[in-house]
C-alpha cells in the first residue's frame, strides 16, 4: 500500500529533514493539516522552517488524509539542505 511505504520512508527521514505533506496537484502544503499560527490565526507550514514535524504528527496526518506527496523544507532545519530546481519548458529545443 502506498500509504505504508510513504509512512515508512517519511518516518525514516524525520531525524534529518523537515518534511511536510503537499498536494500532488499543485505542490502546495495541505493547509487543512497544517497547524494554526497563533499570531495570524491562519494555518501554515512556516513553523516547519524552524522545527521538524514529529513522527506522531506524520502518523496523524496520514490517518486524516490520503497524503501522496511530500515536500522538504530546505535550510538549517533540514541539515543545511539546498535544492536547485530547474524547470524546463517543453518548447525548449536543444541541438
Residue carrying the nine cell digits 530546505: 74
The mean of the pLDDT values for the chain is 87
pLDDT of residue 73: 96
pLDDT of residue 18: 95
**Helix, strand, coil % over all residues of the chain, rounded to 5:** 35, 15, 50
Q: Is residue 62 predicted with pLDDT exceeding 60? A: yes
Average pLDDT of the residues in 53-79 = 91
Long-range residue pairs from 84-89, CB within 8 A, at least 24 positions apart, any chain? none
Q: Is residue 34 predicted with pLDDT exceeding 90? A: yes
pLDDT of residue 95: 60
Cβ–Cβ < 8 Å for 36, 91: no
Q: Is residue 65 predicted with pLDDT exceeding 60? A: yes
Q: Which of 45, 55, 51 is nearest to 11 (CA)?
A: 55
Amino acid at each position: 500500500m502506498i500509504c505504508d511505504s510513504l509512512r515508512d520512508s517519511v518516518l525514516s527521514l524525520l531525524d534529518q529533514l523537515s518534511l511536510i505533506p503537499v498536494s500532488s496537484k499543485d505542490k502546495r502544503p495541505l493547509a487543512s493539516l497544517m497547524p494554526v499560527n497563533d499570531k495570524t490565526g491562519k494555518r501554515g507550514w512556516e513553523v516547519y522552517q524552524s522545527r521538524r514535524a514529529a513522527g506522531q504528527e506524520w502518523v496523524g496526518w496520514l490517518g486524516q488524509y490520503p497524503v501522496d506527496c511530500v515536500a522538504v523544507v530546505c535550510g538549517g532545519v533540514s541539515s543545511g539542505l539546498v535544492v536547485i530546481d530547474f524547470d524546463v519548458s517543453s518548447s525548449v529545443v536543444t541541438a
